[in-house]
Amino acid sequence: MDTEYGYAKDCPSRTVVSVLANKWSLYVLGLLRHYERPLRFTELRRHIEGVTQKSLTQALRNLERDGLVSRTIYPTIPPRVEYALTDLGVEAGALTAAIADWSKANASRVLEARSAYDRRPADGS
């Protein structure tokens, strides 16, 4: 098996790709990159339509664990927590921005292809 590209099941890059491939992680990185400032959990959740509290929490934990996002707790009542990109997260954010730009530019073509595929007979001919 060719493992040069990180396809081996025990390759460390697979764990990184799995975090970046998570749609909520992509959205978090994109938002933090877009606003170029720390955001609070509620701000992130407000901007990411459809994300649950649990999914957003898990995505933020994974991004923090991998060193892409920093979490700062301010000693106020109630405590204020902000999330920001680290230097590593800024680099990853550039990649996610490229995916977002490509997606926006090609969404209509992808939707056309889906529609054409869905119109095909069930036997695939």
pLDDT, tens only, 9-67: 787 777 778 888 888 999 999 999 999 999 999 999 999 999 999 999 999 999 999 99
Question: What is the radius of gyration, based on Cα positions, of the chain?
Answer: 18
Residue 122's pLDDT is 83
Does residue 124 come out as left (phi exceeding 0), alpha (psi in the -120 to 50 range) or beta? Answer: left
Task: Read off the amino acid at residue 80.
Answer: R
Does residue 113 come out as left (phi exceeding 0), alpha (psi in the -120 to 50 range) or beta? Answer: alpha
* For the chain, counts of helices (H) and of strands (E): 5, 3
pTM for the structure as a whole: 0.81
Residue 9's pLDDT is 77
Q: Where are the domains of the chain?
A: 12-119
Residue 21's pLDDT is 84
Residue 96's pLDDT is 85
Rounded Cα–Cα distance for residues 86 and 106 (Å): 30
Residue 19's pLDDT is 81
Residue 124's pLDDT is 63
12-119 CATH: 1.10.10.10
Write out pLDDT tens, residues 59-115.
999 999 999 999 999 999 988 999 999 999 999 988 888 888 999 999 999 999 999
